[in-house]
Amino acid sequence: MKAVNLLPEKNRPRQPTGGQGKGGYVVLGVLGAVLVGLLVYVLTLNSINDSKSKIKEATAEAARLNEEANSLGPYGDFAKIKSDRVQSVMTLAQGRFDYERLVRELAQVLPPDVWLMNAAASSVGDPATTTTPTAPPAGGTAGAASTPAAPTGPTLKLQGCARDQSQVAVTLVRLRELQGATDVSLDHSTRGEDTTGTGAAPAASAGSSSGTDASCGTTHGKPNYSFEASVTFAPLSSNQPATAPSRLGGGA
């Protein structure tokens, strides 16, 4: 039998309906989702701010390290600077004319009856001299070699005196024994003024002044010869010996 409530509607106790209970759960779910979203937003924002702080710190550290590296740059380049300077000094040293060795070698190769009045050298080309070598005048006692082509390597120009013509020839042969010499040429060889009266003296060549011939003097009453010679050397190289050989032969 089905029970019947005889109380009026307004006096009856209220009964919860199923639809009202589901609505409460929905509200709770929405509030929970909002809370989770807010928590995720806060955590993401904190992470972004932390990353920005780290970026600023890294940028400042990079700037500091870059400034420190720039201040230490000269010390880092010291090895390169040293290498460049050493190379520059070596290049200058290899390109210079070694006068010290040349003088020692000339002292060994010149014959006893030959002496020098002037010597000029150049590391490249023909050195400037006080006189211009030319052929001796007609009637001179010695012929002159033809003017050689302009040299490109180191060149030595010698002006000297000799007792006779044979000593000039010996000198030319011995000059070839100089270290690195590739060619020796005689610019002119002129006999000085004959003061004995036995023969006419040749006129001074255009390339030599009378003062140069007179400075050669006489030997046993005979006038000495004045000569000019040019020595051409091979281009300088690092494998050439630093000192002259102990003995230099030739010609005598």
Q: How far apart are CA 2 and CA 82, in angstroms?
A: 116
C-alpha to C-alpha distance for 47 and 10, rounded to whole angstroms: 59
Interatomic CA distance for residues 92 and 209, integer angstroms: 37
Give the residue from 232, 238, 72, 53 showing the smallest Cα distance to 152: 232
Backbone angles phi, psi at 105, to 5 degrees: -70, -40
Residue with tokens 């007179």: 214
pTM of the full structure: 0.47
pLDDT along the chain (252 residues), means of 10: 74 64 78 90 91 91 87 76 85 74 89 90 64 42 48 83 92 90 91 57 41 67 91 72 46 40
Using CA atoms, how far apart are residues 178 and 42, in angstroms rounded to an integer? 94
